[in-house]
Chain A
Amino acid sequence: MSAAPDIVFHASGLTKVYRMGDVEVQALRGVDLELRRGEFVVLLGPSGSGKSTLLNILGGLDVPSDGHVYYEDHDLTVADERALTLFRRDHVGFVFQFYNLIPSLSARENVAIVTEIARAPMTPERALELVGLAHRMDHFPAQLSGGEQQRIAIARAIAKRPSVLLCDEPTGALDSATGVKVLEALERINAETGTTTVVITHNADIASMAHRVLYLADGRIVREQTNATRKRAADLRW
């Protein structure tokens, strides 16, 4: 199937069931979704609503139990492991709640580990500049604050110039003031590079900076809201 030119992702009827220990978890129960180029989307929902599972499937980290998801013309649900790896390598940037930096590598090296395998990346230095951390380049994760670590993680995610930036609770482990700095970085990158950005959060305040907000509950999208006016990240408080 072919999508409208400004549609980056198109998903239909996504379901996901996985086992964790002895427990069977029904994470998604039929999700339909479209994401447009340059859009800043917030996925809002309580714990266990299926936000992370949806994000992982969009990012090619996981495959749905049923349904289809297209990235541009490519059906990710029929892609094999190798194709998914290439998809992630070329198109997707991830930011996680716990930063997931590699502790044995410095800030610059944590970015370099991605730019080294990307097609047309910016330099690690440039990426760190974009998140305002050029001066902390040679520090190791253990020497950085939580907010700084998260901004390094963002620099790492955007350094490859991804088509889509997927952020799973990027401010979840941060206090409000630090969280705002991280959101400012995301806002700036979305505005300056036009990268489609999806942010998962259970913090309703963050929703006001999005173009569009999708509400998830119990594995389904239960509501969609388009913000006529967006708040600036700098004005957010929680």
Chain B
Amino acid sequence: MRALHTKALRDLWHLRGPAIAIALVIAAGLANLVMSRATLESLSETRERFYRDYAFADVFAQARRVPEAVAERIREIDGVQALETRLVAGANLNVPGFDDPVRALMVSLADDGAPLLNRPYLRAGRMLAPGSEDEAVISEAFAEAHGFVPGDTLSATIYGRHRELRIVGIALSPEFVYQIQPGTVFPDFRRFAIVWMNRRALGAALDMDGAFNNVTLKLVARTRPEAVIEALDAVLSDYGGLGAYGREDQVSNRFLSEELRQLDTMARIFPTIFLGVAAFLLNVVISRLVGMQRDQIAILKAFGYSNRAIGLHYALLVSLIVAIGVVIGLLGGIRLGQWMAGVYQEFYRFPFLDFRMSAGVFALGVGVSLFAAFVGTAQAVLTAARLPPAEAMRPPAPERYRPALFERLGLARYLSQPTRMLLRQIERRPWKSLLTVVGLAFACAIMMIGRFQTDAIDYMIDVQFRIGQRNDLSADFTEGSGERAAHELRALPGVLHVESYRNVPVRLHAGHRSELNAIQGLRADSVLKRPVDRDLRRVPIPAQGLLLTDYLAGMLGVEVGDVIEIEVLEGRRRRVEAVVAAVVNEYLGVNAYMDLDALNRLLGDGERISGVLITADANAQSELYRMLERRPRVSGIGVRKLAIQNFYDTLGESLGVFTYVALILGGVINFGVVYNAARVSLSERGRDLASLRVLGFTRGEVAYVLIGELALLVLLSIPLGFLTGYMLSVYMAVSMQSELFRIPVLISAETYGFAALAMIGSTVLSAWIVQRRIAHLDLIGVLKTRE
């Protein structure tokens, strides 16, 4: 069958334009699939290994101060295999030559230098020497951001006391793979550090000799963490326990899990779209090819080629096109995957992240590509195989045309003959026209998705930082501070306005659901923190009851007017009830708000505050920051401007890349659909078009009949694309939402405009390529060819 194979190869060469267009669409889908799945697998496996080898704990709990002897009671809880008590506390760091505030999470390590759980992975230097007083191991991301190496020193303010620390090692930890400051969403490696110190040394700094404030547990295999958490909470409730939680609520692990879930979503949506479009394109091109080669099929059968041989011949041709797509897709997917793994390593700090393409991903990629090809071409290939030879000898019955809908509506007199031709052509193949429009709509949608994230994030920032929260600085106070501390700050130079707030750790209960959270007490007349509703209208702090982030209300299954139970996790640990007064719209985190006075009354421990929000003269801010740093009651300082800047620094670059990639991907679909549709039309109607040329139509007029049809379909596809893009955005937003953040579905006019322009631009390009073929129509030849 060599000659038949030669024919397949020559046919492929003849079809190279459409074949490449289709192969590119397949490649784009496959590259997406391989990138997402392989990255997902690599990340999951790396995570498993890191967690296992470095003993990531199963349960975590923070308390105020627990005597060491209590550890024995915890050890007796059913299901506890190992436990480690330690000290964890916030601190301020002073980095020479870096003016912004730097926060650190100080974590103690067992004095013998061999922690049981959450063992750091040492990247450089050494671990802490047993008994050392001033040695510190710091997290890698922070060290990299400032160029710290072992041997450097660092000054820290721990619990209001100044300490000089010597960096001896640089490390990573399963506990801090995603290393963010509590309450934030994006990492800021320059302004947040993890610092490990010996237990004794940190204990001395924190006045915690003989006590711990943090415990982590490893559970016996197949133990339900819920029961252990409950028992642990019971033990710690006398010592200011702030509520124990399992791995799934551990911040770093939680973010990582969310990321994996998003990758999984990506691995489904985009490949499905691309391979669906590829199936459609293959269908159009191969059906047309079989139609055009009716006589060749007939002759092959007349000479004794079996149906099977003919079917396999066309299947081979399809497989060759798919193979080109698969090769490009796999190579592209691996490169993209490696790039993505690099991006992940920037955000998620693993000791190693081997990007690995497993046989499973390979098989999945090839499998779905072939499946798409099968769906697209099975019918055409079967038609070829089953074509009765005698029937194939006869020319196909003439296509049935009829006046288009427009004409039947009596509008014929407004339409020129060429316009009628193109309208009838569209209407005669309603399915093909419809699928063309749908394919193009997806191209438009993908281009929109590329910018949707940027739009959404702009909006999130706007709502979160410019509307909801308007302070320039914030200061956290040490425990037990009262309104006087806030009052003192009002006198500092440059301060314009100061508002105090209180944060109280609580567990909220509604029916059988409960959520660990904090209630933030705000002044009723607060102007710096202003929760808003969906329409960005201010929601006043009610005199009674709670304001909940809408997502939190959803998690608890409560609505406005419902009563929820508040289990206070500090002070007298009261259990009280409160009514949900209203829900507010927030995109980052989930919160509960209450009137500060009402909250204090509820807790019954007097007028307490946790910190203040400050607005200050722009010129005075850095000086003010330095003054705040020196005040003993101030345990932490936040700068809003830096938070916003960090947000964009972190995300800006990868979002830009994403927009660009989506533009290319959408362009690939657009080109694949338009170019193929034009080529097939040209082949189907070359005769008509050449006839028009012979009759004296200009090239431009002839091109109008061909390209006008496509232009009309593209124009029809754009509104549908807008709708598809919007729905895809909703789907992505819904599938990515979690209590960590929600992406608002908000598509700017610029994005709609951008997508429409990109569609038109891409169409013009495809049309230009086809137009050149019209210029070369062989007028005499086409008329002589037998249909």
Q: Are B303 and A94 in contact (CB under 8 A)?
A: yes
Least CB distance, A135 to chain B, in whole angstroms: 20
Known: A100-B298, A109-B6. A116 touches B304 (CB 8 A): no
- List chain A residues, Cβ under 8 A from B393: 52, 56, 61, 96
Q: Are B295 and A105 in contact (CB under 8 A)?
A: no
**Beta-carbon contacts of B374-386 to A below 8 Å, as 1s and 0s?**
0000000000000
| Any B CB within 8 A of the CB of A219 | no
Least CB distance, A120 to chain B, in whole angstroms: 14
- List chain B residues, Cβ under 8 A from A98: 295, 786
The answer for the CA separation of A160 and B305 in the assembled complex, in Å, is 13
Of the candidate stretches B7-15, B334-342, B757-765, the one touching chain A is: B7-15
Q: Are B390 and A56 in contact (CB under 8 A)?
A: yes
| Any B CB within 8 A of the CB of A2 | no
Least CB distance, B86 to chain A, in whole angstroms: 75
| Any B CB within 8 A of the CB of A136 | no
- Residues of A96-129 contacting chain B, CB below 8 A: 96, 98, 100, 102, 104-105, 109-110, 112-114, 116-118
**Beta-carbon contacts of B393-405 to A below 8 Å, as 1s and 0s?**
1100110000000
- List chain A residues, Cβ under 8 A from B299: 94, 96, 100, 102
Q: Are B304 and A105 in contact (CB under 8 A)?
A: no
Q: Are A113 and B397 in contact (CB under 8 A)?
A: no
The answer for the CA separation of A102 and B298 in the assembled complex, in Å, is 11
The answer for the CA separation of A52 and B309 in the assembled complex, in Å, is 26
Name the residue on B nearest A85 (C-beta). Answer: B306
Known: A98-B295, A102-B299, A105-B6. A82 touches B306 (CB 8 A): yes
Least CB distance, B663 to chain A, in whole angstroms: 37
- List chain B residues, Cβ under 8 A from A212: none
| Any A CB within 8 A of the CB of B80 | no
Q: What interface size band does chain A fall in?
A: 35 or more
Name the residue on B nearest A91 (C-beta). Answer: B304
Name the residue on A nearest B296 (C-beta). Answer: A102
- List chain B residues, Cβ under 8 A from A112: 2-3
| Any A CB within 8 A of the CB of B734 | no
Least CB distance, B254 to chain A, in whole angstroms: 59
- List chain A residues, Cβ under 8 A from B70: none
- List chain B residues, Cβ under 8 A from A56: 389-390, 393
- List chain B residues, Cβ under 8 A from A52: 393
Name the residue on A nearest B300 (C-beta). Answer: A113
The answer for the CA separation of A82 and B306 in the assembled complex, in Å, is 7
The answer for the CA separation of A62 and B298 in the assembled complex, in Å, is 11
Q: Are B302 and A21 in contact (CB under 8 A)?
A: no
Name the residue on B nearest A16 (C-beta). Answer: B390
| Any B CB within 8 A of the CB of A89 | yes
| Any A CB within 8 A of the CB of B307 | yes
The answer for the CA separation of A198 and B164 in the assembled complex, in Å, is 108
Chain B facing A: main interface SS = helix
- List chain B residues, Cβ under 8 A from A85: 301, 304-307
| Any B CB within 8 A of the CB of A20 | yes
Q: B389: which of A61, A90, A160 is its contact (CB, 8 Å)?
A: A61
| Any B CB within 8 A of the CB of A45 | no
Name the residue on B nearest A22 (C-beta). Answer: B397
| Any B CB within 8 A of the CB of A59 | yes
| Any A CB within 8 A of the CB of B1 | yes
Q: Are B14 and A113 in contact (CB under 8 A)?
A: no
The answer for the CA separation of A86 and B306 in the assembled complex, in Å, is 8
The answer for the CA separation of A91 and B176 in the assembled complex, in Å, is 79
The answer for the CA separation of A44 and B615 in the assembled complex, in Å, is 105
| Any A CB within 8 A of the CB of B4 | yes
| Any A CB within 8 A of the CB of B388 | yes
Q: Are A89 and B7 in contact (CB under 8 A)?
A: no
- List chain B residues, Cβ under 8 A from A87: 304
The answer for the CA separation of A85 and B306 in the assembled complex, in Å, is 6
Q: B3: which of A61, A81, A93, A109 is its contact (CB, 8 Å)?
A: A109
Q: Are A88 and B3 in contact (CB under 8 A)?
A: no
Q: Are A113 and B7 in contact (CB under 8 A)?
A: yes
- List chain B residues, Cβ under 8 A from A89: 303-305
Known: A56-B393, A98-B295, A109-B6. A104 touches B304 (CB 8 A): no
| Any B CB within 8 A of the CB of A220 | no
**Beta-carbon contacts of B729-742 to A below 8 Å, as 1s and 0s?**
00000000000000
Name the residue on B nearest A168 (C-beta). Answer: B393
Name the residue on A nearest B388 (C-beta). Answer: A62
| Any B CB within 8 A of the CB of A156 | yes
The answer for the CA separation of A156 and B306 in the assembled complex, in Å, is 18
- List chain A residues, Cβ under 8 A from B300: 102, 113
Q: A61: which of B302, B305, B309 is its contact (CB, 8 Å)?
A: B302
Q: Are A116 and B394 in contact (CB under 8 A)?
A: no
Name the residue on A nearest B400 (C-beta). Answer: A21
- Residues of B60-97 contacting chain A, CB below 8 A: none
The answer for the CA separation of A82 and B308 in the assembled complex, in Å, is 10
Name the residue on A nearest B390 (C-beta). Answer: A62
Least CB distance, A237 to chain B, in whole angstroms: 25
Q: Are B304 and A113 in contact (CB under 8 A)?
A: no
Q: Are A113 and B301 in contact (CB under 8 A)?
A: no
The answer for the CA separation of A109 and B10 in the assembled complex, in Å, is 12
Least CB distance, A60 to chain B, in whole angstroms: 9
Name the residue on A nearest B386 (C-beta). Answer: A81
The answer for the CA separation of A92 and B304 in the assembled complex, in Å, is 9
The answer for the CA separation of A39 and B295 in the assembled complex, in Å, is 28
Known: A21-B397, A113-B4, A116-B1. A105 touches B10 (CB 8 A): yes
Least CB distance, B9 to chain A, in whole angstroms: 9
Q: Are B3 and A113 in contact (CB under 8 A)?
A: yes
Least CB distance, B551 to chain A, in whole angstroms: 62
- Residues of A16-70 contacting chain B, CB below 8 A: 20-21, 52-53, 56, 59, 61-62
- List chain B residues, Cβ under 8 A from A105: 3, 6-7, 10
Q: B7: which of A59, A88, A90, A104 is its contact (CB, 8 Å)?
A: A104
Q: Are A104 and B14 in contact (CB under 8 A)?
A: yes
Least CB distance, A79 to chain B, in whole angstroms: 13
- List chain B residues, Cβ under 8 A from A116: 1-4
The answer for the CA separation of A61 and B389 in the assembled complex, in Å, is 6
Q: Are A100 and B303 in contact (CB under 8 A)?
A: no
Q: Are B296 and A100 in contact (CB under 8 A)?
A: yes
- List chain A residues, Cβ under 8 A from B398: 21
Q: B304: which of A81, A88, A109, A110 is its contact (CB, 8 Å)?
A: A88
- List chain A residues, Cβ under 8 A from B304: 85-90, 92, 114, 117-118
Known: A21-B397, A102-B296. A88 touches B302 (CB 8 A): yes
Known: A116-B2, A116-B3. A81 touches B307 (CB 8 A): yes
Least CB distance, A111 to chain B, in whole angstroms: 9
The answer for the CA separation of A98 and B787 in the assembled complex, in Å, is 11
- List chain A residues, Cβ under 8 A from B11: 104
Least CB distance, A77 to chain B, in whole angstroms: 14
Least CB distance, A56 to chain B, in whole angstroms: 4
The answer for the CA separation of A21 and B397 in the assembled complex, in Å, is 6
Least CB distance, B492 to chain A, in whole angstroms: 86
The answer for the CA separation of A61 and B393 in the assembled complex, in Å, is 9
- List chain A residues, Cβ under 8 A from B301: 61, 85, 88
Q: Are B295 and A156 in contact (CB under 8 A)?
A: no
Name the residue on B nearest A113 (C-beta). Answer: B3
Residue in B11, B305, B393 whose Cβ sees the most chain A Cβ within 10 Å: B393
Least CB distance, A92 to chain B, in whole angstroms: 8
- List chain A residues, Cβ under 8 A from B388: 61-62
Residue in A21, A85, A94 whose Cβ sees the most chain B Cβ within 10 Å: A85
**Beta-carbon contacts of B280-315 to A below 8 Å, as 1s and 0s?**
000000000000000110111111111101000000
A-B contacts, 9 of them at CB < 8 A, read: A59-B302, A61-B389, A86-B304, A88-B303, A94-B302, A100-B296, A102-B300, A109-B7, A113-B303
The 7 closest A-B CB pairs, nearest first, are A89-B304, A62-B390, A104-B10, A113-B3, A21-B397, A61-B390, A100-B299
Apart from A56-B390, A61-B301, A112-B3, 8 more pairs, CB < 8 Å:
A20-B394, A62-B388, A81-B307, A89-B304, A92-B302, A102-B296, A113-B7, A117-B305
Which A residues are closer than 8 A to B by beta carbons? 20-21, 52-53, 56, 59, 61-62, 81-82, 85-90, 92-94, 96, 98, 100, 102, 104-105, 109-110, 112-114, 116-118, 156, 160
